[in-house]
Structure 1
Amino acid sequence: MYCPAAFRQDDLPSLHAQIHASGLAIVTSSGAQGLQASHLPLLLEPGEGEFGTLYGHFARANGHWRDLAAGAEALVVFSGADAYVHPGWYPAKAEHGKVVPTWNYIAVHAWGQAEVFDEPERLLELVRRLSERHEQRRPQPWAVSDAPRDYIDSMLRAIVGFALPIRRLEGKWKLSQNRSAADRVGVRNGLAASANPQERELAAQMNPTD
Protein backbone atom coordinates (compact mmCIF):
# COMPACT_ATOMS: atom_id res chain seq x y z
CA MET A 1 0.00 0.00 0.00
CA TYR A 2 1.38 3.39 -0.97
CA CYS A 3 1.55 5.25 2.34
CA PRO A 4 3.33 8.60 2.72
CA ALA A 5 4.68 9.18 6.21
CA ALA A 6 2.00 11.78 7.02
CA PHE A 7 -0.74 9.16 6.65
CA ARG A 8 0.98 6.15 8.23
CA GLN A 9 -0.72 4.56 11.24
CA ASP A 10 1.59 2.38 13.35
CA ASP A 11 -0.36 2.25 16.62
CA LEU A 12 -1.27 -1.40 17.09
CA PRO A 13 -4.42 -0.81 19.23
CA SER A 14 -5.72 1.60 16.56
CA LEU A 15 -5.04 -0.92 13.81
CA HIS A 16 -6.77 -3.67 15.78
CA ALA A 17 -9.73 -1.39 16.53
CA GLN A 18 -10.20 -0.73 12.82
CA ILE A 19 -10.03 -4.46 12.05
CA HIS A 20 -12.72 -5.07 14.68
CA ALA A 21 -14.83 -2.26 13.25
CA SER A 22 -14.67 -3.56 9.68
CA GLY A 23 -17.60 -5.87 9.10
CA LEU A 24 -16.29 -7.44 5.90
CA ALA A 25 -12.69 -8.00 4.80
CA ILE A 26 -11.28 -8.71 1.35
CA VAL A 27 -8.93 -11.72 1.37
CA THR A 28 -6.66 -11.76 -1.69
CA SER A 29 -3.94 -14.13 -2.87
CA SER A 30 -2.23 -15.35 -6.01
CA GLY A 31 -1.72 -19.04 -6.70
CA ALA A 32 -2.40 -21.82 -9.16
CA GLN A 33 -5.82 -20.34 -9.93
CA GLY A 34 -4.44 -16.87 -10.56
CA LEU A 35 -5.33 -13.78 -8.57
CA GLN A 36 -8.19 -14.47 -6.15
CA ALA A 37 -10.32 -12.21 -3.93
CA SER A 38 -12.99 -13.26 -1.43
CA HIS A 39 -15.19 -11.05 0.74
CA LEU A 40 -15.32 -12.59 4.22
CA PRO A 41 -16.21 -11.63 7.81
CA LEU A 42 -13.20 -12.32 10.03
CA LEU A 43 -12.34 -12.57 13.70
CA LEU A 44 -9.17 -11.11 15.19
CA GLU A 45 -7.37 -12.69 18.13
CA PRO A 46 -5.07 -9.78 19.11
CA GLY A 47 -3.03 -11.74 21.64
CA GLU A 48 -1.87 -14.43 19.23
CA GLY A 49 1.54 -13.60 17.73
CA GLU A 50 3.16 -10.19 17.28
CA PHE A 51 0.26 -8.62 15.37
CA GLY A 52 -2.59 -11.02 16.11
CA THR A 53 -4.25 -13.84 14.15
CA LEU A 54 -7.24 -13.66 11.82
CA TYR A 55 -9.86 -16.42 11.63
CA GLY A 56 -12.51 -17.00 9.00
CA HIS A 57 -14.00 -19.55 6.65
CA PHE A 58 -14.65 -20.09 2.95
CA ALA A 59 -17.47 -21.93 1.28
CA ARG A 60 -15.94 -25.30 0.40
CA ALA A 61 -17.06 -24.72 -3.20
CA ASN A 62 -14.89 -21.57 -3.31
CA GLY A 63 -11.57 -22.83 -4.66
CA HIS A 64 -9.74 -19.84 -3.18
CA TRP A 65 -9.02 -21.79 0.01
CA ARG A 66 -6.99 -24.33 -1.98
CA ASP A 67 -4.39 -21.70 -2.85
CA LEU A 68 -4.05 -20.79 0.83
CA ALA A 69 -3.76 -24.47 1.74
CA ALA A 70 -0.92 -24.73 -0.81
CA GLY A 71 0.99 -21.96 1.00
CA ALA A 72 0.07 -18.84 -0.98
CA GLU A 73 0.60 -15.59 0.91
CA ALA A 74 -2.63 -13.69 1.59
CA LEU A 75 -3.20 -9.95 1.72
CA VAL A 76 -6.28 -9.02 3.75
CA VAL A 77 -7.80 -5.56 3.28
CA PHE A 78 -9.98 -3.87 5.92
CA SER A 79 -11.67 -0.69 4.73
CA GLY A 80 -12.85 2.03 7.08
CA ALA A 81 -14.80 5.20 6.40
CA ASP A 82 -14.04 7.11 3.20
CA ALA A 83 -15.23 10.33 1.60
CA TYR A 84 -14.70 12.68 -1.33
CA VAL A 85 -13.05 15.96 -0.30
CA HIS A 86 -14.55 19.03 -1.98
CA PRO A 87 -11.89 21.70 -2.78
CA GLY A 88 -14.26 24.44 -1.63
CA TRP A 89 -13.81 23.27 1.95
CA TYR A 90 -10.21 24.53 1.91
CA PRO A 91 -9.77 28.18 2.98
CA ALA A 92 -6.75 28.04 0.67
CA LYS A 93 -9.13 28.01 -2.31
CA ALA A 94 -10.17 31.59 -1.56
CA GLU A 95 -6.56 32.63 -0.94
CA HIS A 96 -4.86 31.35 -4.09
CA GLY A 97 -7.07 28.75 -5.79
CA LYS A 98 -4.30 26.14 -5.92
CA VAL A 99 -6.41 23.24 -4.66
CA VAL A 100 -7.83 20.08 -6.21
CA PRO A 101 -10.26 17.38 -5.06
CA THR A 102 -9.03 14.30 -3.24
CA TRP A 103 -10.36 11.31 -1.31
CA ASN A 104 -9.86 10.71 2.41
CA TYR A 105 -10.07 7.21 3.83
CA ILE A 106 -8.95 4.72 6.45
CA ALA A 107 -7.55 1.31 5.52
CA VAL A 108 -5.64 -1.54 7.15
CA HIS A 109 -3.68 -4.19 5.24
CA ALA A 110 -2.56 -7.47 6.81
CA TRP A 111 -0.28 -10.11 5.28
CA GLY A 112 0.31 -13.71 6.25
CA GLN A 113 0.12 -17.39 5.36
CA ALA A 114 -2.91 -19.32 6.51
CA GLU A 115 -3.45 -22.68 8.15
CA VAL A 116 -6.55 -24.27 6.59
CA PHE A 117 -8.71 -26.64 8.66
CA ASP A 118 -12.00 -28.53 8.39
CA GLU A 119 -12.32 -30.38 11.72
CA PRO A 120 -16.03 -30.16 12.63
CA GLU A 121 -15.60 -29.08 16.25
CA ARG A 122 -13.06 -26.40 15.34
CA LEU A 123 -15.36 -25.10 12.61
CA LEU A 124 -18.30 -25.13 15.03
CA GLU A 125 -16.37 -23.00 17.51
CA LEU A 126 -15.42 -20.54 14.76
CA VAL A 127 -19.00 -20.22 13.51
CA ARG A 128 -20.26 -19.82 17.07
CA ARG A 129 -17.83 -17.01 17.80
CA LEU A 130 -18.54 -15.22 14.52
CA SER A 131 -22.27 -15.42 15.20
CA GLU A 132 -21.88 -14.14 18.75
CA ARG A 133 -19.84 -11.19 17.57
CA HIS A 134 -22.43 -10.02 15.05
CA GLU A 135 -25.52 -10.92 17.08
CA GLN A 136 -24.45 -9.43 20.40
CA ARG A 137 -26.26 -6.10 20.00
CA ARG A 138 -29.57 -7.56 18.87
CA PRO A 139 -32.43 -7.69 21.38
CA GLN A 140 -32.93 -11.41 20.67
CA PRO A 141 -29.56 -12.69 19.42
CA TRP A 142 -29.51 -15.83 17.33
CA ALA A 143 -27.20 -18.63 18.50
CA VAL A 144 -25.87 -21.68 16.68
CA SER A 145 -27.68 -23.82 19.25
CA ASP A 146 -31.01 -22.42 17.97
CA ALA A 147 -30.71 -24.57 14.83
CA PRO A 148 -30.96 -28.40 14.78
CA ARG A 149 -27.54 -30.00 15.26
CA ASP A 150 -27.88 -32.22 12.17
CA TYR A 151 -28.58 -29.10 10.09
CA ILE A 152 -25.55 -27.30 11.55
CA ASP A 153 -23.41 -30.37 10.87
CA SER A 154 -24.45 -30.29 7.21
CA MET A 155 -23.57 -26.59 7.02
CA LEU A 156 -20.16 -27.24 8.58
CA ARG A 157 -19.39 -29.80 5.89
CA ALA A 158 -19.91 -27.04 3.33
CA ILE A 159 -17.19 -24.72 4.70
CA VAL A 160 -13.44 -24.69 5.24
CA GLY A 161 -11.86 -22.63 8.03
CA PHE A 162 -8.52 -20.88 8.25
CA ALA A 163 -6.24 -19.22 10.79
CA LEU A 164 -3.95 -16.51 9.45
CA PRO A 165 -1.20 -15.26 11.79
CA ILE A 166 -0.49 -11.66 10.75
CA ARG A 167 3.12 -11.39 9.62
CA ARG A 168 2.95 -7.74 8.55
CA LEU A 169 0.42 -5.02 9.33
CA GLU A 170 0.02 -1.55 7.81
CA GLY A 171 -2.48 1.22 8.37
CA LYS A 172 -3.25 4.34 6.36
CA TRP A 173 -5.29 7.14 7.88
CA LYS A 174 -5.53 9.66 5.01
CA LEU A 175 -7.21 12.54 6.83
CA SER A 176 -5.77 15.68 5.20
CA GLN A 177 -2.67 15.65 7.44
CA ASN A 178 -0.68 17.08 4.50
CA ARG A 179 -2.81 20.25 4.53
CA SER A 180 -2.63 23.31 6.78
CA ALA A 181 -4.51 23.33 10.09
CA ALA A 182 -7.10 25.70 8.59
CA ASP A 183 -7.67 23.42 5.61
CA ARG A 184 -8.02 20.40 7.90
CA VAL A 185 -10.66 22.22 9.93
CA GLY A 186 -12.48 23.12 6.72
CA VAL A 187 -12.52 19.50 5.57
CA ARG A 188 -13.62 18.23 8.97
CA ASN A 189 -16.46 20.77 9.14
CA GLY A 190 -17.55 19.97 5.60
CA LEU A 191 -17.69 16.25 6.30
CA ALA A 192 -19.37 16.75 9.67
CA ALA A 193 -22.20 18.68 8.01
CA SER A 194 -22.89 15.89 5.51
CA ALA A 195 -26.10 13.86 5.49
CA ASN A 196 -23.96 10.79 4.80
CA PRO A 197 -23.20 8.96 8.10
CA GLN A 198 -19.94 7.56 6.71
CA GLU A 199 -18.70 11.08 5.97
CA ARG A 200 -19.64 12.19 9.48
CA GLU A 201 -17.80 9.16 10.84
CA LEU A 202 -14.67 10.16 8.94
CA ALA A 203 -14.97 13.74 10.27
CA ALA A 204 -14.99 12.36 13.82
CA GLN A 205 -11.64 10.69 13.11
CA MET A 206 -9.97 13.93 12.07
CA ASN A 207 -7.81 15.94 14.43
CA PRO A 208 -6.91 19.41 13.10
CA THR A 209 -3.80 19.52 15.30
CA ASP A 210 -2.22 16.39 13.72
Structure 2
Amino acid sequence: MYVPPAFREEDRAALHGVMREARLANLVTATAEGLVATPLPLLLAPEEGPHGTLYGHVARANPQWRLPPLGEAMVLFAGPEAYVSPSWYPSKQEHHRVVPTWNYVAVHAYGPAEFFDDADRLLEVVTRLTDRQERPRAEPWAVSDAPADFIRAQLKGIVGLRLPIARIEGKRKMSQNRGAADRAGVAAGLAASEHAADRAVAALIPG
Protein backbone atom coordinates (compact mmCIF):
# COMPACT_ATOMS: atom_id res chain seq x y z
CA MET A 1 0.00 0.00 0.00
CA TYR A 2 1.32 3.43 -0.92
CA VAL A 3 1.58 5.41 2.32
CA PRO A 4 3.06 8.94 2.26
CA PRO A 5 4.69 9.87 5.58
CA ALA A 6 1.92 12.35 6.46
CA PHE A 7 -0.69 9.57 6.33
CA ARG A 8 1.26 6.73 7.95
CA GLU A 9 -0.40 5.12 10.99
CA GLU A 10 2.00 3.10 13.14
CA ASP A 11 0.32 3.08 16.53
CA ARG A 12 -0.46 -0.56 17.37
CA ALA A 13 -3.58 0.27 19.38
CA ALA A 14 -4.95 2.45 16.57
CA LEU A 15 -4.26 -0.23 13.96
CA HIS A 16 -5.94 -2.88 16.07
CA GLY A 17 -8.88 -0.55 16.65
CA VAL A 18 -9.48 -0.24 12.91
CA MET A 19 -9.27 -4.01 12.54
CA ARG A 20 -11.79 -4.60 15.33
CA GLU A 21 -14.22 -2.01 13.99
CA ALA A 22 -14.18 -3.41 10.46
CA ARG A 23 -17.30 -5.52 10.09
CA LEU A 24 -15.88 -7.39 7.12
CA ALA A 25 -12.32 -7.90 5.88
CA ASN A 26 -10.94 -9.37 2.65
CA LEU A 27 -8.50 -12.29 2.66
CA VAL A 28 -6.32 -12.21 -0.46
CA THR A 29 -3.89 -14.92 -1.53
CA ALA A 30 -1.71 -15.26 -4.61
CA THR A 31 -1.85 -18.80 -5.99
CA ALA A 32 -0.62 -20.67 -9.05
CA GLU A 33 -4.12 -20.13 -10.46
CA GLY A 34 -4.07 -16.37 -9.83
CA LEU A 35 -5.29 -14.05 -7.10
CA VAL A 36 -8.10 -15.30 -4.85
CA ALA A 37 -10.08 -13.13 -2.42
CA THR A 38 -12.74 -13.91 0.16
CA PRO A 39 -14.73 -11.35 2.21
CA LEU A 40 -15.14 -12.57 5.78
CA PRO A 41 -15.45 -11.37 9.39
CA LEU A 42 -12.32 -11.90 11.48
CA LEU A 43 -11.35 -12.01 15.12
CA LEU A 44 -8.15 -10.39 16.38
CA ALA A 45 -6.15 -12.01 19.16
CA PRO A 46 -3.77 -9.13 20.05
CA GLU A 47 -1.82 -11.13 22.61
CA GLU A 48 -0.65 -13.70 20.05
CA GLY A 49 2.56 -12.55 18.38
CA PRO A 50 4.13 -9.11 17.93
CA HIS A 51 1.25 -7.82 15.78
CA GLY A 52 -1.55 -10.15 16.85
CA THR A 53 -3.20 -13.13 15.15
CA LEU A 54 -6.39 -13.26 13.07
CA TYR A 55 -9.01 -16.01 13.21
CA GLY A 56 -11.95 -16.75 10.96
CA HIS A 57 -13.38 -19.38 8.65
CA VAL A 58 -14.27 -19.96 5.02
CA ALA A 59 -16.71 -22.34 3.36
CA ARG A 60 -15.26 -25.79 2.75
CA ALA A 61 -16.45 -25.45 -0.85
CA ASN A 62 -14.34 -22.29 -1.23
CA PRO A 63 -11.25 -23.28 -3.27
CA GLN A 64 -9.07 -20.63 -1.64
CA TRP A 65 -8.07 -22.82 1.29
CA ARG A 66 -7.07 -25.68 -1.03
CA LEU A 67 -4.78 -23.56 -3.23
CA PRO A 68 -1.27 -23.24 -1.75
CA PRO A 69 -0.49 -19.52 -1.37
CA LEU A 70 2.59 -18.13 -3.07
CA GLY A 71 4.11 -16.24 -0.15
CA GLU A 72 2.18 -14.32 2.47
CA ALA A 73 -1.55 -13.81 2.51
CA MET A 74 -2.90 -10.25 2.79
CA VAL A 75 -5.95 -9.14 4.75
CA LEU A 76 -7.56 -5.80 3.89
CA PHE A 77 -9.44 -3.82 6.53
CA ALA A 78 -11.32 -0.65 5.57
CA GLY A 79 -12.20 2.07 8.06
CA PRO A 80 -14.23 5.27 7.62
CA GLU A 81 -14.06 6.83 4.15
CA ALA A 82 -15.60 9.80 2.35
CA TYR A 83 -15.36 11.88 -0.80
CA VAL A 84 -13.83 15.33 -0.29
CA SER A 85 -15.13 18.16 -2.47
CA PRO A 86 -12.68 20.96 -3.36
CA SER A 87 -15.53 23.41 -2.79
CA TRP A 88 -14.98 22.92 0.96
CA TYR A 89 -11.48 24.42 0.84
CA PRO A 90 -11.34 28.14 1.67
CA SER A 91 -8.14 28.21 -0.40
CA LYS A 92 -10.31 27.57 -3.48
CA GLN A 93 -11.43 31.18 -3.32
CA GLU A 94 -7.81 32.33 -3.33
CA HIS A 95 -6.25 30.44 -6.24
CA HIS A 96 -8.63 27.69 -7.45
CA ARG A 97 -5.72 25.22 -7.59
CA VAL A 98 -7.65 22.46 -5.84
CA VAL A 99 -9.00 19.06 -6.89
CA PRO A 100 -11.27 16.42 -5.35
CA THR A 101 -9.82 13.66 -3.20
CA TRP A 102 -10.89 10.88 -0.87
CA ASN A 103 -10.29 10.58 2.86
CA TYR A 104 -10.08 7.08 4.30
CA VAL A 105 -8.55 4.71 6.82
CA ALA A 106 -7.06 1.39 5.74
CA VAL A 107 -5.04 -1.37 7.37
CA HIS A 108 -3.28 -4.18 5.52
CA ALA A 109 -2.07 -7.19 7.51
CA TYR A 110 0.26 -9.83 6.09
CA GLY A 111 1.19 -13.31 7.24
CA PRO A 112 0.97 -17.03 6.54
CA ALA A 113 -2.56 -18.35 6.09
CA GLU A 114 -3.04 -21.52 8.13
CA PHE A 115 -6.22 -23.51 7.55
CA PHE A 116 -7.62 -26.14 9.94
CA ASP A 117 -10.71 -28.32 10.32
CA ASP A 118 -10.47 -29.47 13.94
CA ALA A 119 -14.07 -29.40 15.21
CA ASP A 120 -13.26 -28.04 18.67
CA ARG A 121 -11.14 -25.18 17.30
CA LEU A 122 -13.81 -24.37 14.73
CA LEU A 123 -16.49 -24.30 17.39
CA GLU A 124 -14.44 -21.86 19.45
CA VAL A 125 -13.93 -19.51 16.49
CA VAL A 126 -17.58 -19.63 15.44
CA THR A 127 -18.72 -19.05 19.02
CA ARG A 128 -16.44 -16.06 19.50
CA LEU A 129 -17.43 -14.52 16.16
CA THR A 130 -21.11 -14.95 16.98
CA ASP A 131 -20.78 -13.58 20.50
CA ARG A 132 -19.07 -10.46 19.20
CA GLN A 133 -21.93 -9.66 16.84
CA GLU A 134 -24.75 -10.71 19.16
CA ARG A 135 -23.48 -9.07 22.35
CA PRO A 136 -25.06 -5.63 21.68
CA ARG A 137 -28.50 -7.13 21.04
CA ALA A 138 -31.17 -6.99 23.74
CA GLU A 139 -31.68 -10.75 23.45
CA PRO A 140 -28.43 -12.14 22.02
CA TRP A 141 -28.47 -15.48 20.25
CA ALA A 142 -25.74 -17.98 21.19
CA VAL A 143 -24.33 -20.92 19.28
CA SER A 144 -25.28 -23.07 22.25
CA ASP A 145 -28.95 -22.20 21.62
CA ALA A 146 -28.93 -24.58 18.65
CA PRO A 147 -28.82 -28.37 19.07
CA ALA A 148 -25.23 -29.57 19.53
CA ASP A 149 -25.52 -32.24 16.82
CA PHE A 150 -26.85 -29.64 14.36
CA ILE A 151 -23.90 -27.32 15.07
CA ARG A 152 -21.41 -30.16 14.69
CA ALA A 153 -22.92 -30.97 11.30
CA GLN A 154 -22.70 -27.32 10.26
CA LEU A 155 -19.03 -27.18 11.26
CA LYS A 156 -18.27 -29.83 8.65
CA GLY A 157 -19.11 -27.27 6.00
CA ILE A 158 -16.40 -24.77 6.99
CA VAL A 159 -12.62 -24.61 7.35
CA GLY A 160 -10.92 -22.49 9.99
CA LEU A 161 -8.34 -19.79 9.32
CA ARG A 162 -5.46 -18.72 11.55
CA LEU A 163 -3.20 -15.93 10.33
CA PRO A 164 -0.36 -14.78 12.59
CA ILE A 165 0.40 -11.22 11.49
CA ALA A 166 4.01 -10.91 10.35
CA ARG A 167 3.76 -7.26 9.31
CA ILE A 168 1.14 -4.57 9.19
CA GLU A 169 0.59 -1.31 7.31
CA GLY A 170 -1.77 1.46 8.26
CA LYS A 171 -2.93 4.58 6.43
CA ARG A 172 -5.04 7.37 7.89
CA LYS A 173 -5.65 9.94 5.16
CA MET A 174 -7.63 12.71 6.82
CA SER A 175 -6.57 15.92 5.04
CA GLN A 176 -3.35 16.18 7.09
CA ASN A 177 -1.64 17.60 4.01
CA ARG A 178 -3.97 20.63 3.97
CA GLY A 179 -3.76 23.79 6.05
CA ALA A 180 -5.85 24.29 9.17
CA ALA A 181 -8.49 26.37 7.35
CA ASP A 182 -8.95 23.76 4.62
CA ARG A 183 -9.16 20.96 7.17
CA ALA A 184 -11.83 22.87 9.05
CA GLY A 185 -13.75 23.39 5.81
CA VAL A 186 -13.64 19.68 4.98
CA ALA A 187 -14.72 18.74 8.50
CA ALA A 188 -17.66 21.15 8.33
CA GLY A 189 -18.70 19.94 4.90
CA LEU A 190 -18.64 16.29 5.90
CA ALA A 191 -20.33 16.95 9.24
CA ALA A 192 -23.29 18.47 7.37
CA SER A 193 -23.72 15.39 5.18
CA GLU A 194 -26.79 13.17 5.40
CA HIS A 195 -24.53 10.11 5.25
CA ALA A 196 -23.34 8.67 8.57
CA ALA A 197 -20.05 7.55 6.97
CA ASP A 198 -19.25 11.13 5.99
CA ARG A 199 -19.96 12.36 9.50
CA ALA A 200 -17.70 9.64 10.91
CA VAL A 201 -14.83 10.92 8.75
CA ALA A 202 -15.52 14.51 9.81
CA ALA A 203 -14.86 13.52 13.41
CA LEU A 204 -11.42 12.13 12.48
CA ILE A 205 -10.06 15.20 10.72
CA PRO A 206 -7.41 16.89 12.90
CA GLY A 207 -8.13 20.45 13.98
Q: 1:67 to 1:73 in 2, by over 3 A?
A: farther
1:123/1:61 Cα in 2 relative to 1: closer, same or farther (>3 Å)? Answer: same
Q: CA deviation at 1:33?
A: 2.8
- Secondary structure, in 3 states, of the residue corresponding to 2:197? helix
For these two proteins, the number of residue pairs brought into alignment is 207
> 1:129-159 deviations in whole A, cap 9, x for unaligned?
0000010000010100111111111110000
Secondary structure of 2:138 counterpart: coil
Q: Give the structure 1 partner of residue 80 of structure 2.
A: 81
Structure 1 unaligned regions, length at least 5: none
**Structure-2 residue corresponding to 1:160:** 159
Structure 1: how far apart are the matches of 2:87 and 2:141? 47
**Residues 1-210 of structure 1 mapped to structure 2, 5 A cutoff:** 1-67=1-67, 72-208=71-207
How many Å separate the matches in 1 of 2:51 and 2:140? Answer: 30
Of 26-35 and 46-55, deviating more is 26-35
Alignment RMSD: 1.0
Quote how far apart the aligned CAs of 1:32 are.
2.6
Deviates more, 1:6-15 or 1:24-33: 24-33
TM-score (norm 2): 0.97
Structure 1 pair 149/64, CA: closer, same or farther in 2 (3 Å)? Answer: same
Q: Which amino acid aligns with 1:132?
A: D
Kept in 2, the 8 Å contact 1:28–1:38? The answer is: yes
- Give the secondary structure class of the aligned counterpart of 1:79: strand
The separation in 1 between residues aligned to 2:61 and 2:70, in whole angstroms, is: 19
Quick check: 1:24–1:41 contact (8 Å CA) kept in 2? yes
| Structure 2 counterpart SS, 1:9 | coil
The DSSP-based 3-state class of the residue aligned with 1:91 is coil
Cα distance in structure 2, aligned partners of 1:204 and 1:126: 33
- In the TM superposition, residue 115 of structure 1 has moved relative to its aligned partner by 1.8
How far off is 1:72 after superposition?
4.3
Aligned counterparts of 2:126 and 2:137: Cα–Cα separation in 1 = 17
- Three-state SS of the structure 1 residue aligned to 2:149 is helix
Which 4+ stretches in 1 moved above 3 angstroms?
Answer: none
Instruction: State the percentage of identical aligned residues.
Output: 56
Unaligned runs of 5+ in 2: none
